[in-house]
Amino acid sequence: MSPSPLPRIAWIGLGIMGAPMAENLLKAGYPVAGYTLEAHKLDRLAAHGGTPAASVREAVRGADVVVTMLPADREVTAVVLGEDGVLAHARTGALVVDMSSIAPRTSAGLAVEAAARGLRMLDAPVSGGEAGAVEGTLSIMVGGEPADFDEAEPLLRALGTTVVRCGPHGAGQTVKAANQLIVAANIQACAEAVVFLEKSGVDLSAALDVLGGGLAASAVLSRKRDNFLARAYAPGFRIDLHHKDMGIVTAAAREVGAALPLGGLVATLVAAARAQGDGGLDHSALLRGVERLSGTTRNAA
């Protein structure tokens, strides 16, 4: 008996993260129809064996699973609920997997709207940045019904190495918000350590090597080490997006009565970096904010 064919995927959003993720599904044998606003990104999808679509409506027609990977709440809401959007044109019973990072409240609301139109929905945001998307090693945190998670899990494991259902609708986004809080605080601490070490006359490369071998080691320190050394801030994850995410975590924490004293400070520092014109740089460019405060600003590579 031949195995069942893999589900047909509609992929909406082919940015820094979305494009390599869709390509990993193609490598795994999934048929993928994709839509994004930039024509050259559709050409890239076609070059990897995907099917470019002229609209969301065209992409989702006949799809078994619709994946959205978009910048923020506004874009996700428009694509899912719009007149030419996912819920209006996906087939009844299709599974919608939103892998964007948006507010937990928004995810829960979209799941209710999907159910009312005969579709199912999971929130499945990711962590790991562009490198994780390319390598297929993302951490994926999922909210939704257990049966829907079980259905989506093989697909998600083509994209990440850590795939965990965290609870009901919105739970994945809540865990992602916590993730972004930890990452921002970690980057800020690393940036402050870099400036402290350099001003003290220490060999920075040697210092980061030894810090990376002790209790101060972290994925952030490992992934961003070269950024700090070279002051190279090509965006793997832009400060603009981390600013959005810090707004999500601080608002969600306020709703549940959780104090974030460090989180509030880091959110302010991220906002300040953005206000200083660094929004399009990688979030490791928080180092530039520490340098400005310390009087040692360098040009970004």
What is the per-residue pLDDT for 236? 87
Would you list the DSSP string of 236-300?
SSBHHHHHHHHHHHHHHHHHHT---HHHHHHHHHHHHHIIIIITTSBGGGHHHHHHHHHT-----
Query: Same domain for 93 and 218?
Result: no
Establish if 245 belongs to a structural domain.
yes
Query: Same domain for 43 and 156?
Result: yes
Query: Same domain for 181 and 123?
Result: no
Select from 140, 168, 196 the last residue of a domain.
Answer: 168
Establish if 204 belongs to a structural domain.
yes
33: containing domain: 9-168
CA angle 22, 24, 27 (to 5 degrees): 115
Contacts for 120 with CB less than 8 Å, ≥ 6 apart: 93, 94, 95, 96, 114, 144, 145, 148
Look up the CATH number of the domain holding residue 126.
3.40.50.720
Establish if 280 belongs to a structural domain.
yes
Query: Same domain for 199 and 81?
Result: no
Would you list the DSSP string of 82-95?
STTSHHHHSPTT-E
Query: Same domain for 214 and 181?
Result: yes
Establish if 194 belongs to a structural domain.
yes
The CA distance from 3 to 8, in Å, is: 15
**What are the tokens at 180?**
């972004």
Select from 168, 185, 205 the last residue of a domain.
Answer: 168
Establish if 301 belongs to a structural domain.
no
Select from 168, 183, 217 the last residue of a domain.
Answer: 168
Establish if 289 belongs to a structural domain.
yes
What is the per-residue pLDDT for 6? 96
What is the per-residue pLDDT for 4? 59
Look up the CATH number of the domain holding residue 247.
1.10.1040.10
Establish if 76 belongs to a structural domain.
yes
Establish if 207 belongs to a structural domain.
yes
Per-residue model confidence as pLDDT tens digits over 44-89:
999 999 999 999 999 999 999 999 999 999 999 999 999 999 999 9
Query: Same domain for 202 and 153?
Result: no
**What are the tokens at 57?**
């409506």
The CA distance from 264 to 268, in Å, is: 6
Q: Which of 176, 199, 224, 244 is catalytic?
A: 176
Helix axes 171-199, 239-256, angle to 10 degrees: 120
Query: Same domain for 156 and 113?
Result: yes
Query: Same domain for 54 and 156?
Result: yes
Query: Same domain for 105 and 120?
Result: yes
Query: Same domain for 154 and 284?
Result: no
For residue 176, indicate whether it is catalytic.
yes
State the total domains in the chain: 2
Stretches in the chain below the pLDDT threshold 50: 1-2
Hey, is 227 helix, strand or coil? helix
Query: Same domain for 20 and 114?
Result: yes
Would you list the DSSP string of 169-195?
TTHHHHHHHHHHHHHHHHHHHHHHHHH
Query: Same domain for 39 and 151?
Result: yes
What is the per-residue pLDDT for 1? 44
Task: Flag whether the pTM goes above 0.85.
Answer: yes
